[in-house]
Structure 1
Amino acid sequence: MTITVIYFEKVSPEIHKMIETYKEPTTEIVYWHDLNDSQKEHFLSRAHYFITAAFPITRSIIGKAPNLKLIQKTGSGVDNIDLEAAEERGILVASTPGANSSSVAEMTIGMILCLYRKLHFLDQETKQGKWLMWEHRPFMFEMKGKTHGIIGMGNIGKKVALLSKGFGTNVIYFNRNRLSIEDENKLGISYTSFRELLTISDIVSLHIPLLAETRNLIGETELNLMKPNAILINVARGNIIDEKALVQALKTGNLLGVGMDTWSSEPMQADNPLLQFTNVLATPHVGGGTRDVLENVLRLSFENIEKVEKAKMPNNLV
């Protein structure tokens, strides 16, 4: 029996080859962005499995898929999936927690280094023939000796802590549930309150899911608590930061820089006012976007599909 899988993300020729490598011969892969409207309706009516990374799996889409068994998320956060609609239909939802944690952690450190050392400026200026060997030095910093405040100490937060400490930072953290003293000692980190973290950190990075209680967690009040010349990194979810408040904070010149990999609206709007600031490092939600991660999540996704086909429960059910 042929099973039909709809892959909802845009794919390059290289990604297409990777997907074909992992699927079973009896699996039909349908690429959502290659379909016209009538084809979408047709393939939804026969689809057994969905694979999504960021594409919104809405109640409407779920309702048009009577044969759907599993929605597989290639990532950890499932805020793009209507979980209530899936549950009402008895459709399984699974994710791949931890699969992208190393890539996201490395992206976090990369953004910090880029902002501290002005790499994005230096690259552009040097390519323009400018030799600004001395001009930026008073405004560039080392990570060594800085206090790095991590909000969220899950798989990604822990890896960020270890990498950051390798550069000689003092790592503090805030998490909804405090780690054990044993785990804190193992990681070499200290727990503090949310407010205290914002007040004393030179670097603040976000590694939490988007929930009702984390939406706009970083707003005007929180941004005003941050130190002069602090760096803010968001590789989690866009709506955790109130972008309007962030624009106002950047206008004051208090923040040294901001790294934004996730946005309140994705794809990001071309007129987003954050793009006017040269000290905002902007990337298109690629924190977990390495080939290593892609290979890992594709393998895990098709393993879960195979499990469901064999009447077994998939790994990492939501």
Structure 2
Amino acid sequence: MSRKNVLAVIPPQVGGREAGSALAGLLADRAHVTVVESAGEDPGALAAAQVIITALSPVGADHLRAAPLLELVQCVGHGHDHVDLAAAERHAVTVCTIASSGAEGNSVAEHAFALILACAKRIVPAHTALAAGDWALPRLRPHLTELAGKTLGVVGLGHIGRDVARKAAAFDMNVLYSSPRRAPRDVEERTGARWTGLEELLRASDVVTLHAPLNDGTRHLLDARRLALLKPTAVVVNTARGPLIDQDALAAALEDGRIAAAGIDVFDPEPPPPGSRLLGAPNVVLTPHAGAVTRETLVRIALAAVENVRRHLDGAEPHDVVAGPGATR
């Protein structure tokens, strides 16, 4: 069997060449692997590539046009918004994620709850004040709350959303979820989640956590109008994709006290520019897209991506096709 050419595109923020070399080693017996930090870095390797593995690095129309031999783009993660799917369709290139692997689910769900708890208990301002010699309890006390008996609204009940819903049961929370289609009955029973419309969810929830994919229909899913539906005591958490929320509208809601707090792990763009309004907003806990980068998760993600590439190299249908031949319509 001839060895195919694989281009592994691993940007510096997710490990760069060092992480790419480790990933390449997993395919060394099956393919010639070139590691780069951006898709256009090595034009010769791009032109020869039959497979591209991308870890959040853009693969646009120009890259696809410059890769006439390309058969597969494998995303190292659940998201695929960094790949031009329309261009992939035009070039008959298959695009896959690792969505069904569950590799990121537990880590992102844990991170979502870390942000929820940090907001509910005002951990960051409490620490900052105390480290500065300020016993801030009298000032913080009116804002501290517990999760038991509260309603958690999960936007998107995929693998990660389901993990979040299951963890909510341990905190004695009620769970609502919104999604374009209702989940199977057994999923609802396992998670204890009740299906409802997005706007009803926003009105009813004490905590809203986003786990939807980014596409044309979900960009700015939470805009100024929908943020205005939230309770003034509500907390918003986003560990999915930054553009799901209109960040200026979120910052304005925080500044005006129209919502209580927000926990944000993803931004638009990434990293956020120094002047981003959200960085200076009150009652916000920010982390640098860290939800899926635990030591354990990175290994699972890499193995899931490599396994899908191996399926393709073996002539089998890869999992989680989102564009091109084999995509579910």
Give me the whole-angstrom Cα distance separating, in 2, the residues matched to 1:2 and 1:204.
Answer: 45
SS in 2 for 1:6: strand
Following TM superposition, by how much is the alpha carbon of 1:181 offset from its aligned partner in structure 2, in angstroms?
Answer: 4.3
SS in 2 for 1:173: strand
Following TM superposition, by how much is the alpha carbon of 1:227 offset from its aligned partner in structure 2, in angstroms?
Answer: 0.6
Contact 2:9 2:55 in 1 (8 A): no
Matches within 5 A, 1:70-219: 70-97=72-99, 98-219=102-223
Give me the whole-angstrom Cα distance separating, in 1, the residues matched to 2:231 and 2:172.
Answer: 19
Following TM superposition, by how much is the alpha carbon of 1:209 offset from its aligned partner in structure 2, in angstroms?
Answer: 1.1
Task: Between 261-270 and 121-130, report the one with greater CA deviation.
Answer: 121-130
2:325 equivalent in structure 1: none
Task: Between 42-51 and 22-31, report the one with greater CA deviation.
Answer: 22-31
Task: Between 100-109 and 5-14, report the one with greater CA deviation.
Answer: 5-14
Give me the whole-angstrom Cα distance separating, in 2, the residues matched to 1:105 and 1:172.
Answer: 16
Following TM superposition, by how much is the alpha carbon of 1:73 offset from its aligned partner in structure 2, in angstroms?
Answer: 0.5
- Cα RMSD, aligned residues only: 2.3
> Is 1:281 aligned with 2:285?
yes
Query: Which residue identity does 1:254 align to in structure 2?
Result: R
Give me the whole-angstrom Cα distance separating, in 1, the residues matched to 2:38 and 2:285.
Answer: 32
Overall identity of the aligned pairs, in %:
32
Following TM superposition, by how much is the alpha carbon of 1:126 offset from its aligned partner in structure 2, in angstroms?
Answer: 3.4
Task: Between 258-267 and 301-310, report the one with greater CA deviation.
Answer: 301-310
Query: Which residue identity does 1:221 align to in structure 2?
Result: R
Following TM superposition, by how much is the alpha carbon of 1:121 offset from its aligned partner in structure 2, in angstroms?
Answer: 1.9
Contact 1:8 1:50 in 2 (8 A): no
Q: 1:264 to 1:74 in 2, by over 3 A?
A: same
Contact 2:153 2:201 in 1 (8 A): yes
Give me the whole-angstrom Cα distance separating, in 2, the residues matched to 1:246 and 1:34.
Answer: 31
- Provide, for residues 7-58 of structure 1, a one-character-per-residue CA deviation record: whole Å limited to 9, x for no partner: 23222576356425423245443332289x7x52122122222111321110
1:306 equivalent in structure 2: 310
Q: 2:264 aligns with which of 260, 265, 275?
A: 260
Contact 1:150 1:172 in 2 (8 A): yes
Following TM superposition, by how much is the alpha carbon of 1:160 offset from its aligned partner in structure 2, in angstroms?
Answer: 0.6
SS in 2 for 1:195: helix
Give me the whole-angstrom Cα distance separating, in 1, the residues matched to 2:287 and 2:278.
Answer: 12
SS in 1 for 2:228: helix
Q: 2:44 aligns with which of 42, 45, 66?
A: 42
Contact 1:74 1:96 in 2 (8 A): yes
Contact 1:147 1:201 in 2 (8 A): yes
Contact 1:6 1:47 in 2 (8 A): no
Q: 1:268 to 1:31 in 2, by over 3 A?
A: farther
TM-score (norm 1): 0.90
1:270 equivalent in structure 2: 274
- Provide, for residues 123-160 of structure 1, a one-character-per-residue CA deviation record: whole Å limited to 9, x for no partner: 33333344445542222111112111111111111111
SS in 1 for 2:240: coil
> Is 1:244 aligned with 2:248?
yes
Give me the whole-angstrom Cα distance separating, in 1, the residues matched to 2:210 and 2:93.
Answer: 31
- Provide, for residues 234-277 of structure 1, a one-character-per-residue CA deviation record: whole Å limited to 9, x for no partner: 11222221222222212211211111112221222221101111
Give me the whole-angstrom Cα distance separating, in 2, the residues matched to 1:211 and 1:3.
Answer: 30
Contact 2:36 2:42 in 1 (8 A): yes
SS in 1 for 2:168: helix
Q: 1:167 to 1:3 in 2, by over 3 A?
A: same
1:53 equivalent in structure 2: 55
Give me the whole-angstrom Cα distance separating, in 2, the residues matched to 1:27 and 1:68.
Answer: 14
Give me the whole-angstrom Cα distance separating, in 1, the residues matched to 2:88 and 2:20.
Answer: 27
Contact 2:97 2:321 in 1 (8 A): yes
Q: 1:64 to 1:226 in 2, by over 3 A?
A: same
Q: 1:297 to 1:49 in 2, by over 3 A?
A: same
Contact 1:18 1:295 in 2 (8 A): no
- Structure 1: any 5+ residue segments left out of the alignment? none
SS in 2 for 1:268: coil
Give the number of aligned pairs.
316
